[in-house]
Structure 1
Amino acid sequence: MSNSPENIYSTRLARLRARMAEVGTDLVAVGPTSNMAWLAGVSAHGDERPVMVLVTRDHAAFLMPALNENSVRQHTDLPFYCWVDADGPQDALETMLADFGLNRDGVSVAVDEAMRADFALLLLDALPAAKRQFLGETLGYLRCRKDETEYHQLKENALLTDACVTAAFASLKVGMTELEVVKFIDDFFAANGATTEFASVCFGVNGAFPHHDSGETRLEENMPLMIDLGCRKGGYPSDMTRSGYFGAKPEGYEAIAEIVESAVKAAIATAKPGVRASAVDDAARSAIAKAGYGENFLHRTGHGLGIDIHEHPYISASSDTVLEEGMVFSIEPGIYFAGRFGVRLEDIAIMRKDGVEILSDKPRDLIAAV
């Protein structure tokens, strides 16, 4: 089977229609979001002009501002219902819905939760009796289960990030600022055909902030550090965290890292098809709590990763999601001590029939920068 973009997007549309039939959804409305990029390969110009893809089990088309028609046409063969600024989108939308032949009194519509509210209300006002839901059971369900094309891109990006974090730790010198390391990361990814999705470089006490904004803190001898980073290439991101030290390890640092690693392993061992995401979170959390540091684990165990850096499934205590083959998510427990340091170890995993495959090849051992 060809992996051409045309084949990928036609396959995804067919899968969406099959899923709509399974769950009894008549209409799916996708805005100019990552959902549109996944379904149609289109990243439409985002402004106040309504644009969306509407999909039924027999029809699919764009509501499209005429201003963007020729540009977007380069990326999709789906029909367009165009409208101009002088007229507004209402008539084009009404024509589109009429052509789709929907029974508006009983239509079940799934609306992209990430689209602008005014776009969604435009559609819902045209379907006042519709049964409304978000995309979780239709397109969202499919996005959670990555295909082989997505897997290979995520794997490639994970290996590139392995190389970047190794090089970043090797580049460290006394007096460097966190932002100088971020610049090194930016340059490394750019040299390898990627862009930086994010980079959080945490020197010393800044490692105690799970979401630290890198700044002017300078690297000193005998300092712990943590680097959380990701790139974007081929439309998909990466995400990993490694912890280490420059000079001598702080007292107790290695022991804490061993506890965090035990939590990663507990989560990996628990993650199987049919297991709830909350059970994976509990496994990691229990390993840290049993060591006496439960109150120092400040966040969920993980998040899904796909076109978006954070997407379903979420690996948290409140998640009822049942894990299935093809789901991709992070496993990233951490222990944080305000005013001292933090240790987090993060890998991205894809669910296989007998457990998870870790996308990174880089060990989670503490990295000695000198």
Structure 2
Amino acid sequence: MTKFPPAEIRLSNLRERMAQTETDLVVLGPSSHMDWLSGVHPHGDERPVMLVVSQKYAGFLMPALNAAAARISTDLPFHFWRDDQGPDEALAELLAACGANVPNLTVVLDETMRADFALRILDALETPKRRFTGDTVSLLRASKDQSEFEAIKAAHLLNDAAIKAAFEALKEGVTEGEIVAVINEHYKKHGAALEFCSVCFGESGAFPHHYSGSTKLGANTAVLIDSGCRLNGYPSDMTRCGFFGTPDETYKEVFDVVEQAVQAALEASKPGARASDIDKAARDVISAAGYGDYFLHRTGHGLGIDIHEEPYIAANSDRVLVEGNVFSIEPGIYLNGKFGVRLEEIVILRETGAEIFSDMPRDMILR
């Protein structure tokens, strides 16, 4: 089991970042932000659950119903409320403990929390100034520590084996859904859970977010498999492509262009580069080959506790990347009515450039 740093270290880093950004209060809902900071991941329903952090205090607004389960994961104080009481009094006590009973506080709100939770906080404060977590919690989460690297690496090595097993299971007449089952069974056998899986035969591959179904594999058919598992709290994500039978020249050309785009994006992935620089490196290759209109999405997304998180590798992002950032590089070309090719790696930025998590080659897989 991967050992993660104590919550106290992440809380200290957050407070340092709060001081740098002149943030008075951070309020997190029952989300991956809360999980990352405290290890607490309560069931999210209509009962307000919040972790509130100031420089002097950190504590939870906690429904009594959830308290026993949450206490296993944290020593931070709880401000309880029962269903027959409502949360207002407990929230007022928590905010007072945080020193938040003064006007004009700058508050960072968890952008993933329920709107009624966020409005409850804003209504309880006097003329607050608010923003979201982009320069505090999200920024800290985007730089992975060694324990997170080890967890993500383990998930990817397991994913490699599952996708290899999936390609080996290809045979004429098998359905996309049956190949999903092969992958899912491999995950379960090795202690992981299915995070997502898209198996695409032929024309299905032209839809970047295809839902695998009853389509059967026939002779001379393109195959795209994009899948990920969750192991020890962290996910994997990888796409590999191949051909069942003999690929034609168009498929081979498209595959080669996408591989060149991956290589260009990898070369551009260095600390100090902007996210848009990496997107441009991949997009320029595909556009120069005449397929620019068929690259339908951004080049990548961050990966951590969430399968999609900061940083996003997109043309409209000037975010400067730093060591420890983890993100996907996944250019694709999608030819409607024919096939799609997407090759995806998850990488971590090191001082010298991008390190790939997967050990599985990107070569065209022929069956």
The answer to whether the 8 A contact 1:60-1:78 is kept is: yes
Contact 2:2 2:147 in 1 (8 A): no
SS in 1 for 2:249: coil
Match of 1:189 in 2: 187
1:67-146 matches, within 5 Å, as 67-102=65-100, 104-146=102-144
State the Cα distance separating 1:218 from its structure 2 match. 0.1
Counterpart AA for 2:263: K
Instruction: Report the counterpart of residue 177 of structure 1 in structure 2.
Output: 175
Tell me how far apart the structure 2 counterparts of residues 214 and 95 of structure 1 sit (CA, whole Å): 50
Alpha-carbon offset, residue 256 of structure 1? 1.0
Instruction: Tell me, yes or no, if the aligned pair for 1:228 and 1:242 is still in contact at 8 Å.
Output: yes
Which amino acid in 1 is paired with 2:347? A
TM-score, normalization by structure 2: 0.98
Instruction: Name the amino acid aligned to 2:235.
Output: P
SS of match in other structure, 1:189: helix
Gaps of 5+ in 2: none
Moved more, 41-50 or 3-12: 3-12
Per-residue CA distance 1:238-289 (angstroms, 9 max, x = gap): 0000000111113321111111010001001111111110010000000011
Amino acid at match of 1:179: G
| Mapped partners of 2:343, 2:63: distance in 1 | 46
Alpha-carbon deviation of 1:73? 0.9
Aligned with 1:85: secondary structure?
coil
**Structure 2 equivalent of residue 253 of structure 1:** 251
Counterpart Cα distance in 2 of 1:7 and 1:249: 48
Q: Secondary structure at the match of 1:285?
A: helix
Q: Residues 223 and 250 of structure 1 are in contact (CA less than 8 Å); yes or no, is this contact kept in structure 2?
A: no
TM alignment of 1:334-349, pairs within 5 A: 334-349=332-347
Match of 1:213 in 2: 211
1:304 is matched with which residue?
302
2-structure distance, mates of 1:104, 1:134? 20
Q: Name the TM-score, length of structure 1 as normaliser.
A: 0.97
1:27 counterpart letter in structure 2: L
Give, in whole Å, the separation in 1 of the partners of 2:219 and 2:95. 66
Q: CA deviation at 1:360?
A: 0.7
Q: Which residue of 2 aligns with 1:203?
A: 201
> Once the 2 structures are TM-superposed, how far is the Cα of residue 74 of structure 1 from its aligned partner?
1.3
Aligned residue type for 1:308: D
Partner of 1:234: 232
Cα-to-partner distance string for 1:274-331 (whole Å, 9 max, x where unaligned): 1110010000000011111111111110000000011111001001111111100000
Q: 1:176 to 1:11 in 2, by over 3 A?
A: same
Aligned with residue 38 of structure 2, among 27, 40, 54: 40
Deviation at 1:70, TM superposition (A): 1.5
In 1, Cα distance between equivalents of 2:106 and 2:160: 45
Q: Provide the alpha-carbon RMSD of the alignment.
A: 1.2
What SS does structure 1 have at the residue aligned with 2:170? coil
Structure 1 distance, partners of 2:210, 2:232, is 27
Alignment of 1:276-291 (within 5 A): 276-291=274-289
Any idea what the Cα deviations from partners look like across 1:152-197, whole Å, max 9, x if unmatched? 0001111111111111100111100000001111101000110110
Q: Measure, in 1, the Cα distance between the counterparts of 2:236 and 2:365.
A: 20
1:357 corresponding residue in structure 2:
355
Q: What percentage of residue pairs aligned between the two structures are identical? A: 56
CA shift, 1:57, in A, is: 1.1
Q: Do the aligned residues in 2 keep the contact of 1:313 with 1:329 (CA within 8 Å)?
A: yes
User: Aligned partners of 2:96 and 2:305: how far apart in 1?
Assistant: 33
Counterpart of 1:190 in structure 2: which amino acid? Answer: K
Query: Residue 214 of structure 1 aligns to a residue in which SS?
Result: coil
* 1:81 partner SS: strand
- Structure 1 Cα separation of the partners of residues 124 and 101 of structure 2: 12
TM-fit CA distance, 1:75: 1.3
Could you tell me which amino acid in structure 2 is paired with residue 215 of structure 1? G
The Cα of 1:9 is off from its aligned counterpart by: 1.3
Distance in structure 2 (CA, Å) of the matches to 1:115 and 1:199: 26
Runs of 4 or more consecutive aligned structure 1 residues displaced over 4 Å after TM superposition: 3-7
- SS state of the match for residue 252, structure 1? helix
Are the counterparts in 2 of residues 111 and 132 from structure 1 also a CA contact under 8 Å? yes
Alignment counterpart, residue 19 of structure 2, candidates 18, 21, 37: 21
Shifted more, 149-158 versus 7-16: the winner is 7-16
- In structure 1, the partner of 2:157 is 159
Maintained 8 Å contact 2:54/2:99? no
Please state how far the C-alpha of 1:6 moved relative to its aligned partner: 8.1
AA paired with 1:140?
S
2-side partners of 1:6 and 1:29: how far apart? 23
* Closer, same or farther: CA 7–288 of 1 in aligned 2, 3 Å: closer
Measured after TM superposition, the shift of residue 7 of structure 1 is 4.5
